[in-house]
Amino acid sequence: MRILNIHPQNPQGRLIQMAIDHLEQSGVIAYPTDTCYGLGCSIFQKKGIDKLNHLKRHKKNKAMSMICSDLKHISDFGIVSNTAYKLMRKLLPGPYTFVLPATRLVPKLFQNKRKQVGIRVPDNKVITELVHALGHPIVSTTCQLPGDESPCADIYDIKDRFGNFIEMAIDGDYLYPEVSTVVMVEDDRVDVLREGKGDIAPFRAYMDSE
């Protein structure tokens, strides 16, 4: 496993490019976010997606999230209602996954039966800079194996659990493993599907009004 020590506030362009090259060659990468470590690959590399599904023992039709670099990126892949835009503008970047109706640009492989897509913009400069430089989202899933009690907390944990099955990882030091808060927003309807690190208070007014 190749470890990239990317500066958390001033990511080195050379190292970001190394990660991009790996993703564009269908590679899977482990990376830090604002909640826990994630595993990801380019959304447009089918071999990378197959590797990720194999690592996580996912069924091919299992819905996964994607990481975008900003709100503009989100609108390319998710249908953003006025309510969704207001909430995302207020809360992102942050520890939330917004489940939105998918646009036609989203590969069918990432859509669940209701044609939705989970989208994140983490408050972590390294991963958002990487996605911005890549030019499109990465598929994202939690860095843990089926049956694990919690996500990987650091590079040593990732090595112990995945060994050489992951070829590249970005060292983000120790991250206390937490999950994102998952919120579905369709038109004016707002539902909290999972409570995690992100505060759910901003959604109560929308849920109470139903």
Beta strands in 121-170 (DSSP E): 138-142, 168-170
Residue 59, pLDDT above cutoff 90: no
12-44 per-position pLDDT tens digit: 999 999 999 999 999 999 999 999 999 999 999
Map out the domains of the chain with their CATH numbers: 2-208 (3.90.870.10)
The lowest-confidence range among 58-67, 81-90, 97-106 is 58-67
Tens-place pLDDT, residues 171-194: 999 999 899 999 999 999 999 999
Beta bridge partners of 116: 101
Please write down the HEC assignment for all residues of 46-111. Answer: HHHHHHHHHHHCCCCCCCCEEECCCHHHHHHHECCCHHHHHHHHHHCCCCEEEEEEECCCCCHHHC
- Taking only the tens place, the pLDDT of each residue in 96-153 is 999 999 888 876 666 555 688 999 999 999 999 999 999 999 999 999 998 898 999 9
Residue 195, pLDDT > 90, answer yes
Split at pLDDT 50, 70, 90, the class of 164 is confident
